[in-house]
Amino acid sequence: MSGAVTLRVARDLEELSGLAAAFSLRCCQASITARGRCVVALSGGSTPRMLYTLLGRSPFLQEIDWARVHLFWGDERCVPVQDSQSNYRLVAETLLASAPLPKENIHRVPVELGDPQAVAASYETHVRDFFGLREGELPAFDLVLLGMGADGHTASLFPESPALEEQRSLVVAVYAEALQSHRTTFTLPVLNHARRVTFLVAGADKRDSLQRALAGDLTLPAARVAPTQGQLRWFVDRAAMGRA
């Protein structure tokens, strides 16, 4: 039984980012009140940059108890952290440039290990250790932020990828042919075990894939994100909805 699904349509990326920042604040406050911490899996790509920048500024900078927030990356490109393609760098130069998270709360993907399989295996071990998981158990992230590509991919789960069928591993290494990019990504069981999953989708180029994903076209990886117990929330802009 999937959880509730909510769709919020914003005027533009700026309004979308503001709505997502306010929602993220509420998630952090609720999770910290309930469990003493908020464990977040971040999205990469360009859409969340404004959100991450907002969270590092007033009022969010002051209103979130960053010492109780843990950041993971839902997917990562297997490039050095200084690389402009790095999803870690995206967060480091926005949110982490001002938000006072203890370094032990920043759980970046260990890309320095080099081999993508080794990177994925190491990150999976870290996730299991952090959540204290026994074999077969899944981590319950308080908030998973996701984007969606024009082809309907999300995290680094691409259409027709074998990774979409992975049911045992938490983290897998993938090669994105179209992008010629080695990556690691959380698998669908992880995404679908989260308490809250939030998509941020903006721009007219996403219109077709958004319409299909919202209609439940399971050929699109984004449509396969259906939290079993948690809430699913879409923050989209008018351009992605095909509205003038």
Residue number closest to ligand 6PG, CB atom: 147
Considering beta carbons, is residue 19 or 68 the nearer one to ligand 6PG?
Answer: 19
The least CB distance from residue 6 to ligand 6PG, in Å, is 19
CB of 161 to ligand 6PG, least distance (A): 12
Smaller CB separation from ligand 6PG, 68 or 153: 153
Q: Which is nearer to ligand 6PG, 75 or 142 (CB)?
A: 75
Q: Minimum distance from CB of 145 to ligand 6PG (Å)?
A: 9
Q: Taking the complex as a whole, how short is the minimal distance between the CB of residue 44 and ligand 6PG, in angstroms?
A: 3
For residue 169, give the nearest of 132, 116, 131, 121 by alpha carbon. Answer: 121
- The residue among 31 and 156 lying less far from ligand 6PG, judged by its C-beta, is 156
CA 15/CA 12 separation, integer angstroms:
5
Q: Which two tokens stand for residue 214?
A: 């919202």
Nearest to 233 by CA among 142, 158, 146, 150: 146
For the chain, first and last CA: distance in Å? 35
Cis amide prior to 59 (ω within 30 degrees): yes
The nearest distance, CB 113 to ligand 6PG, in angstroms, is: 18
Task: Give the residue from 75, 56, 68, 73 showing the smallest Cα distance to 27.
Answer: 68
The 3 state secondary structure assigned to 147-195 is CCCCCCCECCECCCCHHHHCCCCCEEEEEEHHHCEEEEEECHHHHCCCC
In the complex, the residues that contact ligand 6PG under the rule CB under 6 A are: 43-47, 75, 87, 147-149, 153-156
Closer of 46 and 229 to ligand 6PG (Cβ): 46
**Residue 182 tokens, joined:** 């080695």
Q: Cβ 179 to ligand 6PG, closest distance in Å?
A: 8
Q: Which is nearer to ligand 6PG, 68 or 127 (CB)?
A: 127
